[in-house]
Every structure is written in C-alpha cells, then in structure tokens.
Structure 1
Amino acid sequence: MPKVVAQGKVIECQPGVNLRKILLQNGIDLYNSGAKVINCRGIGSCGTCAVQIAGEVSQVNWRDQARRSLPPHSPTKDLRLACQTQVLGDIRVTKYDGFWGQGSQILWTPEG
C-alpha cells in the first residue's frame, strides 16, 4: 500500500486514492488562511490545494493544468492540485504559503 508523508504524518492508503481526500481525512492542514472556508471542495477550479509532491502520482489532468496556468499560479512551478491527483505509490508532500499555496515560503514539509 502506498504511503503519503505530509506534515509529520505517515498515511497508508489504497492505490488511486484522491490526495485531497486522504490528506483532509487525516487532519492535514491543506488550505491556507481563508481558503479553509473559501475553496471549490475538490472540483479543481480554485487552485487553493496546490502542493509540491515527490513520488508516484497520476498524470496531470486538464483541470489541474488549466488552473495552474492562470495567475497567481504558474505552469513552470513544480506544484499539483491535490484534488486532481491520485496517489499511485509512496509520496512526500510539501505545502507553501500564499492563499493558493503558490508562495515561496514552506509552511510544512513531509516531516512536519
């Protein structure tokens, strides 16, 4: 079973599980500030669940690519939308600052 390492937690999950769902189910602080209240609830339109991922996940789909091509995101930054990403193998997740998680300062790492 794949392991997701995020914010100091190691979470075992089924292959193909949605990253946003597994993070939220395990108490991971996926959303920054007001995005905790104002987000698209996983349909891929807001971009507030952007995270950096190391490991085996699904290919980028059109929703993820389209949203991250619009400001304040940048298609050149190494981020993914958790709501549009399926966990395929062991991964490590990092979250950045900014309302959309697009900032340059790390808020949390896989270790905590």
Structure 2
Amino acid sequence: IAGARSSLLAFQQQRQLTHTPRQLAASESDSEDAPSSSDGSIDIESDPRLYRVRLSRAPGIEWGTDLSFSFVYVRDMDPSGDASMSRQVEKGDQLCEVKPVTEANDATPINLVGAPFDFVMEKFALLDKTVKEMDLVFFRGTKDELKAAASGKDTPEGESETVTVTVYENKGTPQEIIHRLTAPVGVNIRQLCVDNGINVYQSVTRWTNCKGKQLCGTCIVNVAGGGVNTNRKSMDEASTLRENPETYRLSCVTFAYGDCTVETFPPINAAQWTR
C-alpha cells in the first residue's frame, strides 16, 4: 500500500478533525514503476494482502467494527450469500473501498479505509437503485496491520496508549478554567472529570446524581471537538438529549478513544428538566 503515509498518519494524528475517511493512495507518487489506477481506485498490486472482488449489492455480509466505530470489517457471512459463495472473502477482512458497477463503467470508487461505521453504511444505502453489483476491495489482516501497511511500516506499532482530553469549565466567563488531561485510551469522560475534581453537574444534582449509572441524565457535557474519537450515542442517550445539539453527550456513557475537547455546563433545552 505504497504511497499512503500521509493518509493513515493523518488519521492517527488528526482523526478528531473529520468524519471523512483518508485516501489510500493508488501508488507511490515518486515511483515510476508502481502500478496505478486511472480512476483513482486502490492499487491492489501494491500489497499482496489486498484483493478486489465483485459481489451482489446484497452480499450477505454482516459488517463489524470495534468501539472506535471505524475501520469496518467482515464480522460474519451468510453461508448462502454472495460473499461466502465467492470463496474469496473471509471473516476478519478489512473493507477498503466500494465501487458501484454501472453499465457505462463511470462510477467513482469510494475510499473506506478508516471510515466510521455510519459513513460506510450510508454509502451502501445511497447506492443508486439501478446498481446490482459492486466491486469491493478488502485487506486480509487486522486493523493495526492495515494501518501499518498504509503508513509504510512493515509491522504494526499499535495506537497510542493515551489520549488528551481538554476540559473547559465555565467557558466564556471570567471563571473559565482549562484542564488538559492525559488518560488511557477508552477513558470514561465522567470518571475522568470526577477523578480530577471537575464537576459535570449543575445545582443539587451534584449531590443527588446516579453516580454514573445512566439513570439521572444530568451529567451533560458538550463534546466541542473530537467527537469522532468517542463512542457512538445509544438510542437511550439520544432520547435523553433530544432537542439539544448533536455534540451534547451524557459524560457517564461517553468514552474517549482519541483526543477530544469537552465543555461542562453547556446551555441546555427545557427537556432536561432534571438540571
């Protein structure tokens, strides 16, 4: 996967800035002999673990991801489905690209390396109704192996073991305090704040809250930056935070897998009467 250093290094360093997946380059820009694709699709000859397969629009694949909700892979397959019957796709293969098959062969390939799960599912759902088949590019290996290959490394180094969570208290007031906290990957935002003496509750709920059991709905914070580095909202959380900005989260069920910025005491809608 030569030529992809800028893409996956950028993913590791700046993943919080965008939901758009990084591009996996077709070939090394400074290599005259490296094979390339005129339509911008991934060059499967650049790594022996890459392969392309044409499957039905309904391939019989159950897609999966980890708690980072990025890097979609084949979690399972219907034994009678197109993917399984092809005898090419295997469980655990990482999804890298989709290209709709059209009569004019003029479709643009969609790069999915490192893409959030919702982004991938949306791309499948938005395929034109006339599309019956699609060309998929897979990588046979783990997420870390894919990231290492795309970064031009022979072996995976693994992701950083820590994240930086920047917490603003009383933002925009004379009492504004900024905390920059280093914590293990996957840290719970509420617990991190509590452990560092940062209050995420207003009024009496500071003493009457549920202690992080997702029962009171009062530990509301605004994830002002790096929301892509947190876990996806559950239906319960989304319902509790209805009528408020999408960036609002219940800190007790929010986990950071990359750097992010959190604001305590954000303005809330009347639906959050418990505050």
Judge same fold: TM > 0.5, yes or no: yes
Q: Quick one: distance in 2 between partners of 1:12 and 1:40? A: 25
Q: Quick one: distance in 1 between partners of 2:245 and 2:195? A: 30
- Look up the match of 2:268: 102
Q: What code does the residue aligned with 2:249 have?
A: R
Greater shift in the superposed pair: 9-18 or 38-47:
38-47
The answer to whether the 8 A contact 2:200-2:265 is kept is: no
Which has the higher Rg, Structure 1 or Structure 2? 2
User: Which runs of no fewer than 5 residues in structure 2 stay unpaired?
Assistant: 1-161, 170-177, 270-275
Q: Secondary structure at the match of 1:89?
A: coil
- Look up the match of 1:5: 166
User: Which runs of no fewer than 5 residues in structure 1 stay unpaired?
Assistant: 104-112
Q: Quick one: distance in 2 between partners of 1:13 and 1:32? A: 24
Aligned length: 96
Task: Establish whether residue 65 from structure 1 lines up as the match of residue 238 from structure 2.
Answer: yes
The answer to whether the 8 A contact 2:244-2:268 is kept is: no
Structure having greater relative contact order (Cα 8 Å, sep ≥ 6): 1
Task: Establish whether residue 42 from structure 1 lines up as the match of residue 208 from structure 2.
Answer: no
Task: Establish whether residue 25 from structure 1 lines up as the match of residue 174 from structure 2.
Answer: no
Q: Quick one: distance in 1 between partners of 2:238 and 2:213? A: 13
1:85 pairs with one of 251, 254, 270: 254
Q: Secondary structure at the match of 1:37?
A: helix
- Look up the match of 2:61: none
Which deviations, in whole Å up to 9, do the C-alpha atoms of 1:29-80 show, x marking residues without a partner?
21111110111211212111111102111111233123223xxxx2555300
- Look up the match of 2:221: 51
Q: TM-score, normalised by structure 1?
A: 0.75
Percent of aligned positions that are identical: 27
